[in-house]
Structure 1
């Protein structure tokens, strides 16, 4: 047998020897701890869903999966850090649709939502509740629109801040109705926004089920509708706003991203594991309690949701003059 003295032959031989090793290494993922960064404080929906998925993901992959809360800058700090992390599948980020609304109103972000990440899996989707204070003269979606139109610029709607998802949801309603003149009052968070709605300083708030339903059930607020296109298991007794405003739909989503460049086999392995977790009745039931419906998707499907949302919200921000704080 001839000796491999020439450089090209030696390289070919070496590559052939390494192929089985490389294939084994890729198939062995994961071989160490996986970290899911939550770019918000503990206790919120991003954190809750990420922790529930992390437990199931760890069981499925036979590897420890931990949560690392890195809040700051409306979620941009932690998300930006993961965008710069090694694309090896060991550092991931749990995001929500607020990432796409941020991209619509913030000129400088430490990441590009369409280019800095490899979409892994969607966790869930959830509609918003449309609530008014108890003195407001409306109990149905149709009555809500009629009441606001009857008194232009005499009512206020609350949000958790300028450029927040609450503002986007309400401005989308205004845009689809046309000439729905109600003044935006931004707050520093959801707590004070709900408090002032109960107190009558504002008349309308569109927000998540966990934010509003406890007050509704306690009789301190009135829910007049839900923002899903059709009746939702989140609150099956509520009428969709689309019955009065055809086509109106506004839902949050939550999901998992990896840094751009993460190998497709790793992304697919994570996607399969997450989707298996979402198929478990106990996890789906927990999500429902938090105002969301488990929504398995392929990485490509999730990527299209992100791309479409960024374009949609940028267009609405220009149309309705939505700006960030």
Structure 2
């Protein structure tokens, strides 16, 4: 057999092998679940709690991958530009998906046209915390001190333009005070500096702070939801004093636009089964998540509503990043 015939034969074998792989039902290899923030944040906690059950249900290993940077833009961009095969999914929060497009001149992605909404998991408030022994134990004490010392008190956040940053800006406006904002690269280092006494306050998501609060390592001053949390009903809401100061973080999964409709449906059905499991719901609820359902068809509408809401708040705050 001459060389050309051998090349032809090997080519046919390669095509057969490729066709065989393509014909295998989804999923036939691990699925990457990208978290566009650093470890320790709300979506990272949620991703690691649901990954085992998600993997069991859909029939594949789930690899949780943190790709932080630029407030979530880097990880979000990477998923939007990934192969449209359903093996790279995004588990994100509304600060990245709904705030960054207004905050950054060029976030590098279009939250509506680059992604398909998969599944809404839940929402949770932020909590204003101070270190043990701090003289500031109530919101009234924080506001009174800030009015006595304009510009001297500071609060930590998970980064510029995050909900934890904008909540501080909203509180400044609502209470007529001037606390300085100190951005961190994620919630974990912000909490660490509050624990160490370097910063007097921080806005942190309830899942990232609840264990510190229960252990007595942080004092909870007030939470940012419209009503008190069932996990910690003793913590008053900011809205009880300033009704317009409300903001929560919600967690949801997305796929790159262009993924096959059958693959999208398979992921949505798997997540629905995961979120129906009592053990999963118990773990997520213990972290402070409200698991009120939002159907997949309405997740896109929720995202558009949030884009409009936070665009106004970002504009009023004057925040803008390159």
Query: What is the TM-score when the length of structure 1 is the normalising length?
Result: 0.79
Deviations 1:93-147 (Å, cap 9, x if unpaired)? 1111231232222222231111100000012211111113456554333444344
Q: CA–CA distance in 2 between the matches of 1:207 and 1:41? A: 14
Distance 1:198 1:33, change over 3 A: closer
Per the alignment, do residues 31 and 269 of structure 1 end up closer, same or farther by CA in structure 2, a change over 3 Å counting? closer
Indicate the residue corresponding to 1:298 in structure 2. 295
Alignment counterpart, residue 30 of structure 1, candidates 9, 13, 26? 26
The Cα shift of 1:191 comes to 4.3
Q: Which residue of 1 aligns with 2:122?
A: 124
Query: Is the 8 Å Cα contact of residues 33 and 66 (structure 1) preserved in structure 2?
Result: no
**1:79 paired residue among 58, 76, 80:** 76
The structural deviation recorded for 1:258 is: 0.9
Corresponding residue for residue 102 of structure 1: 100
Q: Which stretches in structure 2 are left out of the alignment for 5+ residues?
A: 1-21
1:279/1:149 CA distance change after superposition, 3 Å = farther
Secondary structure (helix, strand or coil) at the match of 2:155 reads strand
Partner of 1:180: 177
Answering whether residue 241 of structure 2 is matched by residue 244 of structure 1, we say yes
State the shift of 1:232 in Å: 0.8
> Structure 2 matches for 1:126-205, cutoff 5 A?
126-134=124-132, 137-175=135-173, 177=174, 179-205=176-202
Deviations 1:263-296 (A, max 9, x none): 4444333223212211211101111233323343
Q: Give 1:12's aligned residue.
A: none
Q: Does residue 1:93 correspond to 2:82, yes or no?
A: no
Cα deviation per residue 1:218-265 (whole Å; 9 max; x = unaligned)?
444321111111111232221111110114321111111011133444
1:199-218 to 2 correspondence within 5 Å? 199-218=196-215
Q: Paired residues, what number? A: 298
Name 1:312's counterpart in structure 2. 309
| TM-score normalised by structure 2 residue count | 0.80
Q: Which residue of 2 aligns with 1:64?
A: 60
| CA RMSD in angstroms, aligned pairs only | 2.9
**1:316 shift after superposition:** 1.5
Distance 1:58 1:296, change over 3 A: farther
Q: Contact (CA 8 Å) 1:37, 1:94: kept in 2 or not?
A: yes
Asked whether the 8 Å contact 1:29–1:266 carries over to 2, the reply is no
User: Aligned partners of 2:318 and 2:114: how far apart in 1?
Assistant: 27
Instruction: Judge conservation of contact 2:120–2:253 (CA < 8 Å) in 1.
Output: yes
Aligned with 1:216: secondary structure?
Answer: helix
The runs of 5 or more residues in structure 1 that have no matched partner are: 1-24
Aligned to 2:225: 228
1:258 to 255, 259, 275: 255
Helix, strand or coil at the partner of 1:293: coil
Distance across 2 between alignment mates of 1:248 and 1:258: 32
Q: Distance in 2 between matches of 1:204 and 1:43?
A: 18
Displacement of 1:192: 4.3
